[in-house]
Amino acid sequence: MLPVGAMGSTITFPGTRQVWYISGISRNKAQLLLLSSPNRHGSFLIRDSESNKGEYSLSVRNHAKVRHFRIYKDPGGNLYLEKEHTFPNLEQLLAYYTVNWKAIQSPLLHPCIQKRSPETDQWERPRSEFTLWRKMGEGCFGEVWEGMWKNTVPVAIKIMKQ
């Protein structure tokens, strides 16, 4: 294992792949992933921080919501969520909060399961085939619009959030 201070903006864990670390995903993508099946209450992941390059965030599913925690780095390179509990690496931080989860009010029960992205199915069409008229509604995963397909067929169009 590398000391945290030796790591750059991406993590390399010699000899092992940490299933709880997912590189290059946004806060929104982490939320969609954690809320999707087969993930459930207590699923978690660590990702690169979007706002603080070279730092990390912990995202945890707590029932039907996802909570995000910034993982801070002190001047000595130790990591923490709470200043009074610092750790030399992510593994020890996770080990502590797996046992002491009440401090963050979200249990760390299962590393997030990443499903392979499905191939485009026959119902997914390029945006260029549609004309959007009016937004009918929106939810956690996207928007529904009234519009036309190929300028001939009236349709309801679901646009997934990125």
Q: How many domains does the chain have?
A: 2
Neighbours of 4 (CB within 10 A): 20
**Quick one: which H or E segment has residue 124?**
none
Mean per-residue pLDDT pooled into runs of 10, the chain (162 residues): 34 58 91 93 94 91 95 94 95 95 93 72 74 89 88 87 68
What confidence score (pLDDT) does residue 120 get?
Answer: 53
pTM over 0.75: no
Residue 121 lies in a domain: no
Residue 101 shares a structural domain with residue 133: no
**Quick one: which H or E segment has residue 93?**
helix 90-99
Residue 142 lies in a domain: yes
Which structural domain range is residue 72 located in?
4-111
